[in-house]
Structure 1
Amino acid sequence: MTRRLVRTGIQLLVFASVFIFVLLFIDRRYTVLPASIHSHLPAHHPGLVITDITVESCSGLNLISSCRLDPDRWHRIEKDLYLKKGWLPTKAFVHIRRSREEDLTEDDKVVIDVKVGRTNPTLGDKEESSAQWELRPGQIWLKRSVKKHESDSKRAVTAVDVLFGTDAVEPRPGWEIKDIPIAMDGITAGLEPKLSIRRGKPHKMEPAQPRIRKDGKFKILQVSDLHLSTGVGACREPEPAGYHGGKCEADPRTLEFVGKMLDDEKPDMVVFSGDQVNGDTAPDSQTAIFKFAELVIKRQIPYATIYGNHDDEGSLNRASMMALTETLPYSVSEAGPSDIDGVGNYYVEVLVHGSGRHSALTLYFVDSHGYSPDERNFEGYDWIKPNQISWFKDTATALSKSETHTHYTHIHLDMAFIHIPLPEYIDPENEVVGMVREGVTAPAFNSHFKNALVEQGISVLSCGHDHANEYCAISHDQERNPQLWMCYAGGSGFGGYGGYDGYIRRVRVFEIDTADARITTWKRVEYPTGSEERIDEQTIVNAGKAVHQ
């Protein structure tokens, strides 16, 4: 029996090894593995310089062609320039050659500039340099210089990426996106690929640290359900229909609205509470992520993200999106512990004003997942898992006993954010402030996360998901004492639905006053332009406890 088990084990090991080898060999030629897998492969290495850039095209009908240059000499950026949407059965990929700078010889050339366009840049290049402009496919022009020219070496291009769409932005420090798209026949209008390059080493970024203001207050702007696309996106049920002259491009209008709210409210932190990416219309999720990130990065506002049921329906899974977001300036987002369910279970401590290291309050972020894993018994949406609840309880208990909290008394100003509402949002006994425009699409299975929140003294929970619901509802214990305010942010994006009772896109604001242990909330709407009015302003926590309106 033992000999048979050993033989079976060896056979399984050999089979698995052969399978993995064949799979990697096929993927090397045909890219059969998902894009989310490739996103984990190294794309940008510190200490490397780019020596050449080109585009390799191939027919999508040619089963022999891999559309890949020699992988020992070229690195392929795993983004089909056609995004599998071109009107020709064609694929194309940007390839780069790169080398460690110390390995270059004096005769090796390094890319020091990149331009895209029909015109030869040499005609308008007044800069004296030994470098020459060289044409590559896609009307990409490279200026390359031999390594021995130190003045050119300092300008060496060290990383290359591809973004898509007329509205693509580049929020990463040191990166520069080219305005003119790569020229390829058959590219779908509005999804044109653009090169983005970085010179020099990656910028060292200091971690963002939210702090209470000098006046003892801290303002959070919650933005939910942006539903951003690759490209400008299509508006769904814009309200009112004639606003902006009846013209509506989803992403530009959404971002203009959120940008105005950032400038008006001047929040100390922004919470993006899920469905930032509209998966079905985001064949390049990175481009969509960069759009909302750029809004807060250029305003130097710390921000946290969690994911909804649509974010990972695009080109990136949750882990890849979080890995990307963690590298961006002012992001306080984290993947969280790898041994519990979901991506994005973490907390952010908001420190006291000044340079002290004591925490004034803690914000918890929990992944509410996507669709039900057991549709037969629990139709609809997934639920927060027991190990997430245990993590939350253990973390909250540990933080309450931490030395960083012992000198601060307003622990019950802590808040929590999720995307999909809890089943307790449905309770008809809840007192509601705001509009209930649609049914609550909570999980059918109740894992009782709400009980854990109450046990740990959390007074406010806020979610997204149901776009046209934008109310706060308070639950009570058996003696009718207020327990927990459960709020909706309301949908902000025009790429998602909004067609309930003339719903106008909006955001939610929470202002925490640590001096008086008070939390106040209100909403701001996109239309009319005189939207400075605070909608449904209410105090939901007073003296550290949830209160009736």
Structure 2
Amino acid sequence: MTRRLVRTGIQLAALTTLVFVTVFFLDTRYRVLPQAIHSHLPLHHEGLVITDITVQTCSTLNPLSKCMLDQKKWHRVEKDLYLGTGWVSKAYVHIKRKREEELKTEDRVVVDVRTGKLDPAIGEKTQAAERWESRPAGIWIKRSLKRHASDSKRAVTAVDVLFGADAVEPRPGWELVKNGALHLETGKESRDPRLSIRRGAVPKHEKPIPKIRKDGKYKIMQISDLHLSTGLGACRDPEPKGANGGHCDADPRTLEFVERVLDEEKPDFVVLSGDQVNGDTAPDVQSALFKIIGPLAERKIPHAAIFGNHDDEGTLSRHAQMDLYDSLPYSLSEPGPNTIEGVGNYFVEIQAHSSKHSALTIYFLDTHSYSPDEVHYRGYDWLKPNQINWFKTTAEGLKEAHSHYSHKHLNMAFIHIPLPEYGNPDNERVGNWTEPITAPTFNTHFKDALVEYEVKAVSCGHDHVNDYCSLAKDNVTGDPEIWMCYAGGSGFGGYGGYNNYHRRLRVFEIDTNQARITTWKRLEYGDIGARLDEQIIVDSGQVQSANRE
């Protein structure tokens, strides 16, 4: 079972930077008094309901033009609808809300929202007593005729803004408003802002408890370097060149690939191993991130994420993104302890099918971003001693519990930036070594700690067109120690311009009956149904040579 770690004041502060959480905040800042005192209040949601929605536009050239309405009456959703691309304009959605106990008889509650140039009533077969009301930017709202509509499941309780024609809303209870994007001023570049609304309370969802299947097997899909954008995104180095008349939208093509393999492989667990988001092309990180969470939530696949060097180059910090992951259905992601460096140092236990004993432990570590000491160590950052100590202490502390498992317990690990040992030319390799590895030049020897605590395989991302598994061996005995694998880059928003490279992802299948780990890759184009470079890397609990008889 995933260890739940205490959130810190720093993490809570980061949480408030999420616009989604800013809107969510309007459900939690006021506590509803016990039912015994306010028995008339509905039980399906807490606190606040939306009574009006509007858009306020202002000029960046006019200092007297303000994008903030009366703060005593209106709450602003802190996302510029132009996402900074409006040369002379900004625009913000504002919502008016009230606590339910403050609603008066004459108050009207928003029960539906649409967007479009025409009155939605034109397309309705019957004329409802509740009329559609026009608001700026093509927003239409329908409000109840009386206050009692707040008792209805129709009542809108939160509003958010997502961006892009391919926007996805994976949060339970939320839905994208029908009929598309808001209508902003003509002549301005638009990121297709779309309203998303929630009705009722924040749905409660339990964290899934991942378990080995009845047949003793468990399949993990590693998806790395998606490089998703806000909006469709531009393809980089697409292969084959010139396909589809040269037209290629990065994110739709990436997600079509991922969803196809999800449906074919039917993984039990998905690891998002960093650079899910391309920071410089994702001015709204939330919209980009939701695009991969949506397919996983739809298929009810448990998943866990770590960060790459590009994830937090946009609008949300690592802490803010991790709290967003942590709030989403089927996510097992955690920020990890605040006493060590990085965000996302944690582990997940995969339970045996017929008991609560752990059959497989998966460790996740934050490999940070760029070197903090470019003068002496150019390139990328490294795992810190306190992270390694945390891993050792954690692994040591789990040994006793793991000893009660009836079969051979297995350990794996996932990181984003490769370890220096990935570049040992003397290692056995299966797969493509196409570009120089970009591991940190300072080695804190985390590989040795993994070997010491019997982690049989570690897999990374980062170098998009390297997709090999490399076998490290004991320097004295020559015995196999650990397999170090790459996932290969999955996303068309990231580079891939080497040797006609086709995007790919990696699959691991664990057979607990045999204490065996098998791995292979799947391609976006070409022989898309084949398992590329399939190999057994662990058998009977022991790391296996690629060249065994």
After superposition, where does 1:460-539 map in structure 2 within 5 Å?
A: 460-478=457-475, 479-528=477-526, 530-539=527-536
Percentage of matched positions with identical amino acids: 58
Residue 537 of structure 2 is aligned to residue 540 of structure 1: yes
For residue 513 of structure 2, what is the amino acid of its counterpart?
A
Contact kept in structure 1, 2:306 and 2:364, CA below 8 Å: yes
Following superposition, the deviation at residue 246 of structure 1 comes to 3.1
1:468, 1:503 within 8 Å by CA — same for their partners in 2? yes
Deviations 1:501-545 (A, max 9, x none): 1111001000001000110000110112x4111111101111112
Cα deviation digits, residues 487-506 of structure 1 (max 9, x gap) = 00000000000001111100
**Structure 2 Cα separation of the partners of residues 311 and 154 of structure 1:** 37
The code of the aligned residue for 2:295 comes to L
Query: 1:399-414 to 2 correspondence within 5 Å?
Result: 399-402=398-401, 405-411=403-409, 413-414=410-411
**Partner deviation per Cα, 1:144-174 (whole Å, 9 max, x = no partner):** 1144444873310011010011111111122
Matched, 1:170 2:188: no
Is the 1:110–1:153 Cα contact (8 Å) retained in structure 2? no
Q: What amino acid maps onto 2:426 in structure 1?
A: E
C-alpha distance in 1 between matches for 2:380 and 2:473? 25
CA apart distance, 1:340: 1.2
SS of the aligned residue for 1:109 comes to: coil
Any conservation in 2 of the 1:112–1:152 contact (CA below 8 Å)? Answer: no
Does the 8 A contact of 1:417 with 1:462 survive in 2?
yes
1:457 equivalent to 2:457? Answer no
Residues 219 and 508 of structure 2 are in contact (CA less than 8 Å); yes or no, is this contact kept in structure 1?
yes
Aligned to 1:109: 108
> Could you tell me which residue of structure 2 aligns to residue 286 of structure 1?
286
Equivalents in 1 of 2:386, 2:20: separation in Å? 26
Amino acid at match of 1:310: H
1:320-469 alignment, distance < 5 Å: 320-354=320-354, 356-402=355-401, 405-411=403-409, 413-469=410-466
Displacement after TM superposition at 1:119 (Å) = 0.7
Structure 1 position 188, deviation (Å): 5.7
Q: Secondary structure at the match of 1:93?
A: strand
Contact 1:163/1:195 (<8 A) preserved: yes
Cα distance in 2 for residues equivalent to 1:239 and 1:502: 6
> What TM-score, normalized to structure 1?
0.90
Please give the alpha-carbon distance, in whole angstroms, between the structure 1 residues aligned to 2:395 and 2:64: 56
Contact 2:121 2:127 in 1 (8 A): no
CA distance 1:194–1:150, shift in 2 (3 Å): closer
1:339 Cα shift?
Answer: 1.6
TM-score norm. by structure 2 comes to 0.90
* Paired amino acid for 1:456: Y
Deviation at 1:405, TM superposition (A): 4.6
Q: Which residue of 2 aligns with 1:95?
A: 94
User: By how many angstroms is 1:131 displaced?
Assistant: 2.6
Matched residues in 1 for 2:272 and 2:85: separation? 29
For the aligned residue pairs, the C-alpha RMSD in angstroms reads: 1.9
* Superposition deviation, residue 244 in structure 1: 3.6
- Aligned position for 1:15: none
Match of 2:155 in 1: 156
Instruction: Work out whether residues 520 and 538 of structure 1, in 8 Å CA contact, stay in contact via their aligned partners in 2.
Output: yes
> 2 CA distance for matches of 1:222 and 1:444?
25
Question: Quick one: which amino acid aligns to residue 293 of structure 1?
Answer: I
The amino acid that maps onto 1:42 is T
> Conserved in 1, the CA contact under 8 Å of 2:223 and 2:270?
yes
Q: Deviations over 1:80-104 (max 9, x none)?
A: 0000013x31111101111221221
| Mapped partners of 1:128, 1:358: distance in 2 | 59
Q: 1:166 to 1:150 in 2, by over 3 A?
A: closer
Is it true that 1:232 corresponds to 2:232 in the alignment? yes
* Cα distance in structure 1, aligned partners of 2:182 and 2:116: 8
Q: Give the distance between the partners of 2:364 and 2:236, measured in 1 at CA.
A: 29
State the AA in 2 paired with 1:212: I
Contact 1:104-1:147 within 8 A present in 2 as well: no
Secondary structure of 1:292 counterpart: helix
Note the C-alpha offset of 1:314.
1.2
Q: Which letter does structure 1 place at the counterpart of 2:414?
A: F
1:241 counterpart = 2:241: yes
Equivalent position SS for 2:137 = coil
Task: Mark the CA change 1:64 to 1:339 in structure 2 (over 3 Å): closer, same or farther.
Answer: farther
**Is the 1:359–1:408 contact (alpha carbons within 8 Å) kept by the matching residues of 2?**
no
- Structure 2 counterpart SS, 1:138: helix
Contact 2:80/2:90 (<8 A) preserved: yes
Q: Counterpart in 2 of 1:43? A: 23
Once the two structures are TM-superposed, the CA of residue 408 in structure 1 deviates from its matched residue by 3.5
Q: Cα 1:395–1:186, aligned 2, differ >3 Å: closer, same or farther?
A: farther
Q: Say whether the 8 Å CA contact 2:18–2:320 is kept in structure 1.
A: no
Q: Is the 8 A contact 2:19 2:79 kept in 1?
A: no
Distance change in 2, residues 1:518/1:54 (3 Å): same
Distance 1:289 1:185 in 2: 27
Structure 1 residue ranges without an equivalent (≥5)? 1-32
Structure 2 gap segments, 5+ residues each = 1-12, 28-45
Question: Secondary structure at 1:42's aligned position in 2?
Answer: helix
Contact residue 358 and residue 405 of structure 1 kept, 8 A: no
d(CA) in 1 for partners of 2:194 and 2:17? Answer: 22
Count of residue pairs the alignment pairs up: 512
Preserved CA contact (<8 Å) 2:16 2:22:
no
**Hey, what does 2:316 align to over in structure 1?**
316
Decide which moves more: 275-284 or 149-158. 149-158
What secondary structure is seen at the aligned counterpart in 1 of 2:259? Answer: helix
Question: Take 1:310 and 1:36, find their aligned partners in 2: how far apart are those partners?
Answer: 21
Query: For 2:510 and 2:153, how far apart are their aligned partners in 1?
Result: 47
Secondary structure of 2:57's aligned partner: strand
Structure 2 CA distance for aligned equivalents of residues 283 and 508 of structure 1: 29
Q: State the distance in 2 between where 1:40 and 1:115 align.
A: 20
